[in-house]
Structure 1
Amino acid sequence: MADIEPYESALDSLPGAHPYPRTSRYHDAEIGIHRRPDGTEVRYTKRRLLPPLDEENTTPHTVGAGERPDLLGQRFLGDPGQWWRIADANPVLDPRELTDEAGRVIGIPLAGGFPRGDRRV
């Protein structure tokens, strides 16, 4: 897999190669096409379905004062832009809910993330 990574990184920088970079939460989302009455096609990203919540794929973390989703992404996943993986692992509508209350216990996804199989809304 290490041989593929530089190739994928190069593709991420080419316009039109991927609608979203592979680190984006929308990378695996299906792209739909809407056809206007005049025949013009408009591409859009279909609803992104979340993986099923599974405590076996997470480790608990007690939120401390001043923590933010992006800081947790950096600390646990090595990239502040991966905060969305933590949000996906917890039943929250707004990612700020993850850290708005010190002492709250949230799930941090384990390395390797979630299975790509069955997903839920």
Structure 2
Amino acid sequence: MADIEPYENALDTIPGAHPYPRSSRYHDAEIGVHRMADGTEVRYTKRRLLPPIEDVTDDETAPHTVSSGERPDLLAQRYLGDPGQWWQIADANPVLDPQELTQEAGRVIAIPHAGGFPGAGAGARYV
């Protein structure tokens, strides 16, 4: 995982600060509030947008040729320093199931550079 300020981890432990830690794929997702008929408020995470794959440039990712037995979490550990960041690799490739990334030996997939996949913009897709 990329180096972060020690104070940033402390911010993740403050109750109500944000429901997801900074390393989560949902950390930057907008939190919505639904008001029930009785006035009760229910918080929920709105859909997360991904940038369109065709807008990703070669300087934002590096190619990786999949070998037999590889898994998204192992690739995340190797390239991003944290197996929990497998979702960044999934976001950089047009797959619905992250296991599709490594099912076929010889497949070339995009690995985002450490620091994360670029943010969503116009034309983003939902996940």
What's the TM-score once normalised by structure 2's chain length? Answer: 0.87
Aligned position for 1:85:
88
Kindly indicate whether the alpha-carbon contact (under 8 Å) linking 1:55 and 1:107 is maintained by their aligned counterparts in 2. Answer: no
Q: Offset at 1:16?
A: 1.7
Aligned position for 2:116:
113
Kindly indicate whether the alpha-carbon contact (under 8 Å) linking 2:91 and 2:117 is maintained by their aligned counterparts in 1. Answer: no
1:42-81 map, 5 Å: 42-53=42-53, 54-56=56-58, 57-81=60-84
Q: Which runs of 5+ in 1 are unaligned?
A: none
- Report the aligned-residue RMSD: 1.5
Q: Offset at 1:102?
A: 0.8
Residue deviations 1:63-104, cap 9 Å, x none?
Answer: 000000000000000000000000000000000000011111
1:13-28 map, 5 Å: 13-28=13-28
The whole-number CA distance in structure 2 between the counterparts of 1:108 and 1:41 is 39
Aligned position for 1:12:
12
Aligned position for 1:94:
97
Residue deviations 1:33-57, cap 9 Å, x none?
Answer: 0000000000000001112321421
The whole-number CA distance in structure 2 between the counterparts of 1:71 and 1:45 is 28
Query: Percent identity over the alignment?
Result: 76
Kindly indicate whether the alpha-carbon contact (under 8 Å) linking 1:30 and 1:46 is maintained by their aligned counterparts in 2. Answer: yes
Give the structure, 1 or 2, with the largest relative contact order (CA under 8 Å, sep 6 or more): 2
Q: Secondary structure at the match of 1:99?
A: helix
Mean CA deviation greater in 36-45 or 14-23:
14-23
Aligned position for 2:41:
41
AA aligned opposite 2:113: L
Q: Which runs of 5+ in 2 are unaligned?
A: none
Change (3 A) 1:85 1:44: same
